[in-house]
Amino acid sequence: MSIGIHDISAATGSLVFPLADLADHQGIDVGKYHRGIGQTEMSLTTEDEDIVTMAARAVAPIIERHGTDGIRTIVFATESGVDQSKSAGVFLHGVLGLPNNVRVVELKEACYSATAALQFALGIVARRPGERVLVIASDVARYELESSGEATQGAAAVAMLVSEDPSVLEIEPVSGLWTDDVMDFWRPNDRSTALVDGRYSVQVYLEALEGAWNDYREGGGADYSTISRVCYHQPFTRMAAKAQQRLDRIATDGSAPEVDRLDGTTQYNARIGNSYTASIYLAFLSLLDNGPDLAGERIGFFSYGSGAVGEFFAGTLVSGYKEQLRAGHLDGMLEERRLIGYEDYRLRHIAFDRVGDFATADESTGDVRFAGVTEHKRLYERR
């Protein structure tokens, strides 16, 4: 029995802020962003968007195509949760109107936890093959204004339906794992923006990649020569290039790579920015939508979450997977984003930290909106 990703869909915020405008305000060459970190735009959320509304927008095409029968588990991965106790997945369950006989949980470990969610889903389906699991990765990445991480901000959600006999990706059982207790990136409870030691985080990311790859191979993982592409967590797209260079060195005798294993994997992330848990699976969706037909080819995945956890695993693309895709769906969403200027961007960044009761402006484009807070309770509405 094969188990894996049966369907995949994504969503992003309704606003876009070009990094050319940020560079202009800062008085620097935009090449620092376009070439230096490989980013051109950042997706931002409106007042009435958050990780739940983006998740709902990502899930909608999957529910429309497959219905809800057999979905008895929702695993919601995020590091920008909306409540310290209640899972964002429970809010999502409510706005989607799903049946009560569903287990729902939220997972957290920086940008890594969607991969844990995916692995948990594989185990659930292996135990009860008739069940399907909805895996959600949804985040809003925020840093302080004028900080080194500001240009990498972004927002997106990816939804994946995991089942037996998948139509997109059959996931192989071997995983390479690596964990170390470090402080390269973190967000204390009293902050809405993250703290990061950028250079140290790059160093730890590459150490995690090497450790996870070595564990993968020692556990019986596939030979590097059989891996056609690799999807990486992309805090910025140039990080994927750094990682691929490191993997080429440690997995070969130092010879030049015979293929560009990043080809097709960075288009969406460059236009959206960092989306934390969703980032690696946006890379995968970018490959599916923008790459050639790779049916039967093995795809590698390196998932990283600061703090720090890394995992390397692989899967094989199913014959006919291109027919399952929604051509132009995410591209259309990116083109529909509303352009905002620098002053609007700053005001929205500051307003994000509102406390107490408030209502939000109706300005998003999805079917579900965050309506505000009343008596400390988050309210969501369907249009």
Give the catalytic positions in this structure.
79, 111, 233
Mapping DSSP to helix (H, G, I), strand (E, B) and coil, where does residue 141 land?
strand
Q: Which residues pair with 311 in a beta bridge?
A: 177, 303
What is the token pair recorded at 369? 């909106």
Extract the tokens encoding 343: 């002053």
Query: CB of 96 within 8 A of CB of 126?
Result: no
**Separation between Cα atoms, residue 306 and residue 352, nearest integer Å:** 24
CB 7 within 8 A of CB 65: yes
Give the closest residue to 275 by CA, choosing from 107, 62, 55, 60.
Answer: 55
Question: 327 φ, ψ to 5°?
Answer: -55, 130
The answer to whether the CB of 246 falls within 8 A of the CB of 209 is yes
Phi and psi (nearest 5°) for 186?
-165, 165
The token duo for 188 is 């204390």
